[in-house]
A and B are shown apart, each in its own frame.
Chain A
């Protein structure tokens, strides 16, 4: 009986054979490539060592190696990447200048324009290492105009590493931060930016931002290393949004300045459990022994995560605290605050 015509079956047979044949040929070519690479390992090691030696000599002002057979741009770039991590100050700057003169920067810039975003991200990582004005300019261009949000974020990170991020308002606009929920990378970017733009962060807080982004800005202020932000944190500690209040407590703990003692201790009585957890953590981080009686009371809190944090804080703050004499903790399964605990 014929359900389908023989022609269809023949197509299936030839199609299967062709597909398997093509794949096997590709695989064999890859095996051959690997085999040849294995045979070249020693020669490649010698070339890489010669390139490294040559750059080190040029950085020190000596004559470079003369035999440059097999010195591809890719190999040179790899060598420069490795060496630059070992050099500091003037030597590192000279190495980068030499690499630029060798056309390696131009090759990287070209790579940063390729269609594949993975190529562009690799180029960004190299541009970050070069760190010259031209690189920073190209990174800014990528951050502002690349079609891929991921590439823009990577460029922003590279700029942050070079302390060359634009002001926070521009960063937030370019990366369209407020159109979406913040990720942990956004937090990292803002934290990296705050030492350079502390005043602008405080100004930004006056904007009409969603609470979740206000909380991010407040959190970042904790990384400013500047106690002049304490009034802004105090104001945020009285905010109506619990996320903002929690961020203010986190930031003050990070700053490590006891100037916020009063409002931190007041936050131990906050109606929001997350804020109470943050207040306990801040008290512990700042070593606020005055808060011990209140924290003891929190062992009876209605929320499990608050009770757990209080126990932990007491172990750190109160040397005489007897961990075996504590009240039972697991009374009711509480809402999950493990993100803040």
Chain B
């Protein structure tokens, strides 16, 4: 084989890679545009929630399905008491709070016992879904709707399963112990169940970044936007994910993820599938995919709903250190779920889940990150070497950066027009800047973290590192 033949083959390969990267990025952005348009339609035609939670309360109180809030907690001694107080104070006719201490090394349980006057009790576990040992259950003398389950460490999925096993209500709401639920968030999240005639399995709600907000006593006092750039970039990402992608996916019946920070589920269906899987780092995605698979295989008529109103606030990593682990973990979790449920991919038996939603995850989480990152390198290089029309490299830049910025800013416009939860015009401008700036560095770094997630997946790395938190109020 002559040198020129090798050169030609290498040139063809580079062109093929460049073409592939271009198509993948183009497709992702076209899907993003479709999602933005669908979300805009949903917002434009939706019936807004009643003016206040009070109206809902008065109207539906006696028919509201009882809910168990399951809050797995690990080393949360500094904030657990305030968090539980906030959960107990949520506006809802009948809700129980189950805090599952997942083998904390600090005094999480001790703080709870002291603060809520708790005593050891014997509570029957309706279904045993966890893999670790329950040490003790505690009831409160002051709050009959509070139960603390102390168990050996087994990660969040195992703790959530333990709580699920103790729940007796028709609905369960799995949250992070440090999530801040809006006072009427539970009422709003449960509202779709009021209109439901038995098909609804789960409801997800929008989650926002709480960095920069003022939090006191486990509840949100003042909404603001963080000064640091990394949390601000995440504000844009969360808005895109929750106000555009999930709203559109729910509308098209392809909702594949209900965030682990807040999700409302029918207890019986979760128990049917055995709860969360313990052997994945992306248990929230796996759970919803598993539910789709289970319900479709049983040919049951079902649906998932998503409410675009904010129900929950969460603290995002304040710096790149911490974000790296989180994003790599999300990527690894997606790949684990895709591989585990690969039989659903392009399988007409699973309807739009198999034909649309799973391929979309493949495009977004498997092909997307390497294609975009590679595209930034290969397309300009190929154009400089004369292998490609330079216009193609320019078009790639416009599709990924300019179009991507348009999608982000479009989501901000949607938020401002419909929800108006950004506190001021000044905050809007600050988030708008972040939507522009994120394309120059942050986005590429994120892609790199996701490639790290692919590497961890290939190495079958099962370690789980907690995301470092500064605590609410720190910026």
Name A's B-contacting residues (CB within 8 A).
1-4, 6, 9-10, 12-13, 16-17, 19-24, 26-27, 30-32, 34-35, 38, 116-118, 121-122, 125, 150, 154, 157, 180-185, 187-188, 191, 304, 308, 323-324, 329-330, 333, 336, 338-339, 341
Contacts and interface: CB of A to CB of B under 8 A. Distances in A.
A30 B194 CA distance: 34
A109 to B, nearest CB: 19
Contact of B126 (A12, A117, A304): A304
Nearest to A153: B195
A143 to B, nearest CB: 16
A306 to B, nearest CB: 13
A30 to B, nearest CB: 4
- Interface residues of chain B: helix, strand, loop or mixed (majority): helix
Interface in B344-403: 387-389, 391-392, 394-395, 398-399, 402-403
Contact of A188 (B59, B402, B413): B59
Given A34-B424, A118-B47, A20 B403 contact: yes
Nearest to B46: A118
Contacts, number: 149
B145 to A, nearest CB: 13
Contacts of B428: 30-31, 34
Given A12-B398, A19-B403, A330-B126, A184 B391 contact: no
B413 A30 contact: yes
- Interface residues of chain A: helix, strand, loop or mixed (majority): helix
B174 to A, nearest CB: 16
B126 to A, nearest CB: 6
16 contacts: A4-B392, A6-B389, A12-B26, A13-B395, A16-B399, A23-B406, A27-B409, A27-B412, A118-B45, A122-B48, A125-B51, A184-B65, A184-B195, A184-B196, A191-B62, A330-B125
Contacts of A117: 45, 47
B124 interface: yes
B402 A183 contact: no
Contacts of A187: 63
Contacts of B267: 336, 338
Nearest to A120: B47
B127 interface: yes
Contacts of B11: 1
B398 A38 contact: no
B122 interface: yes
B62 to A, nearest CB: 8
Given A16-B398, A188-B194, A338-B126, 15 more contacts: A12-B398, A16-B403, A24-B406, A32-B425, A34-B425, A117-B45, A121-B47, A150-B47, A181-B197, A181-B198, A329-B124, A330-B128, A333-B126, A338-B168, A338-B169
Nearest to B14: A1
A108 to B, nearest CB: 15
Nearest to B424: A38
The 10 nearest A-B residue pairs measured at CB: A20-B406, A181-B197, A9-B391, A336-B268, A9-B395, A35-B425, A16-B398, A16-B403, A329-B124, A12-B395
Contacts of B407: 23
Given A9-B392, A13-B391, A17-B402, A31 B432 contact: yes
Given A27-B416, A308-B168, A16 B402 contact: yes
A339 B429 contact: no
Nearest to A19: B406
A3 B402 CA distance: 22
B398 A17 contact: yes
Contacts of B122: 323-324
Nearest to B398: A16
A26 B194 CA distance: 36
Given A117-B47, A157-B59, A330-B124, A31 B15 contact: no
